[in-house]
Amino acid sequence: MAEIDAAVADGRIPASLDQVISDAAARELPYLQACIKEGLRWLPPIAGMLPKKTPPQSDTINGHFVPGGVTVSWCVKGIHHNPALYGPDPQAYRPDRWIHTSTGGDEPSEEKIATIERNNDLIFGHGKYSCLGKSVAVIELNKVFVELLRRFEFSLMKPEEEWRGGGCFGIFLQKGLWVTVRKRELKV
Ligand code: HEM
């Protein structure tokens, strides 16, 4: 919210509520980008096994021989909560892991940030099966949080209670996460 308010104040986001933030302007908000990446990583929206079959003549995957006709799937949570990449706190929601220390984040290695960004690309699938709606989804994510958080303040109604998911059916359902929404006084 502080990043959004600062961007409105110095004109990087149009002050008028009739204008929705552009995708290009949202890409220039580092903390927003970090929150989106961390949210996608922490609870990847598509968690189905997305099975693929090797060709009849077999295949070699990441150096491993796999016979033909074998179904290979991924474990999306394993990939995005891998301690080798996200240690020591893969289960934590920590947007600062995506921001370099030189710009106020937690991560001292540019190379590490590039690696985890490549890993996050897998959230939309890969290769010929990858998500056809990725660019639309990314534009939506870039706009929705800015426009909501400019206007409203959200707080958990029962912060002491653990969030219980509504189950995973290939796509996660959420329920029981009650929030209080207050209209913000706009500084325009
Ligand atoms: C954050 C939001 C989204 C995520 C994480 C996501 C992720 C994915 C994943 C993982 C796949 C399957 C890849 C595979 O089978 O290996 C997929 C397929 C697909 N997605 Fe998305 N998606 C999102 C939003 C959207 C949106 C908004 C649209 C449409 C505007 C869309 C359209 C499609 C289509 C058409 C396919 C099938 C592609 C094919 O099999 O050729 N997705 N998506």
Residue 125 in any domain: the answer is yes
Q: Per the confidence metrics, is the pTM higher than 0.85? A: yes
Residue 145 in any domain: the answer is yes
Quote the number of domains for the chain.
1
28's tokens: 């220039």
d(Cα 183, Cα 166) in Å, to the nearest integer?
Answer: 28
Atom 17, ligand 1: which residue's CA is nearest? 131
Residue 188 in any domain: the answer is no
> Which of 131, 135, 172, when mutated, tests ligand 1's pocket best, judged by the most ligand atoms within 8 Å of its CB?
131
Give the pLDDT of the chain (188 residues) as one tens digit per residue: 999 999 999 999 988 889 999 999 999 999 999 999 999 999 999 998 999 999 999 999 999 999 999 999 999 999 999 999 998 999 999 999 999 999 999 999 999 999 999 999 999 999 888 999 999 999 999 999 999 999 999 999 999 988 777 888 888 888 888 999 999 987 65
